[in-house]
Amino acid sequence: MYLNGGTEIISQDSVNKIFYDYIPQEETNLNYYGMRWVYTKQFSKPILMHSGLVENYTSNMFIIPESNIGIVVLVNTNDYLVTNNLLSNIVMPLLGEEKQEMSGNPYIRTHTLINIMYFIVTIIGLYPIITINRWKKKIRQNLC
């Protein structure tokens, strides 16, 4: 629908307003935001992007207007690391740009580090609960 000017669902003017009535997001004037769409010029061709997520799902839509290409990616997880790799692994090759090659498996390595941090924070949070009886004994001894 977006690539075909609205195809009798909405007008071409509405499509243009959705995509191109925007404000700059940063001082470089490479990224713009409007009507929940990001218009970016930071690649070899301009890209329109829109994403959404709920507790267990992520969706991303990429439109490359100059190439008349639309991509929709639906992921059955709400994972920040997965969605960050969509541009480099799916969209970049369609633009004629190289994928960002990564050595090893950064996804597993990054999630392992995040899980270790969660574990440490959990232990720090549970420590007072685990040691509460010891503190109660000390308080009783000091009162006597």
Q: Is the pLDDT of residue 102 over 60?
A: no
DSSP state of 66: G
Residues 42 and 10: their CA atoms lie apart, in Å, by 29
Q: What is the pLDDT of residues 34-92, one digit of tens each?
A: 667 887 777 788 888 888 878 888 888 888 888 888 888 888 877 766 666 666 677 77
For residue 111, give every residue at least 6 positions away whose Cβ sits within 8 Å of its Cβ, in sequence order, or none. Answer: 81
In this predicted structure, what is the pLDDT of residue 104?
59
Amino acid identity for residue 47 in this structure: I
pTM score of the predicted model: 0.57
DSSP state of 48: E
What burial letters (b/e) apply to 35-44, b meaning 16+ CB within 10 Å?
eebbbbeeee
CB 32 within 8 A of CB 39: yes
In this predicted structure, what is the pLDDT of residue 125?
94
More confident: 27 or 123: 123
More confident: 35 or 2: 2
Query: Helix, strand, or coil here: 108?
Result: helix
Query: Helix, strand, or coil here: 32?
Result: strand
Q: Which of 25, 30, 64, 23 is nearest to 45 (CA)?
A: 64
Residues 12 and 2: their CA atoms lie apart, in Å, by 9
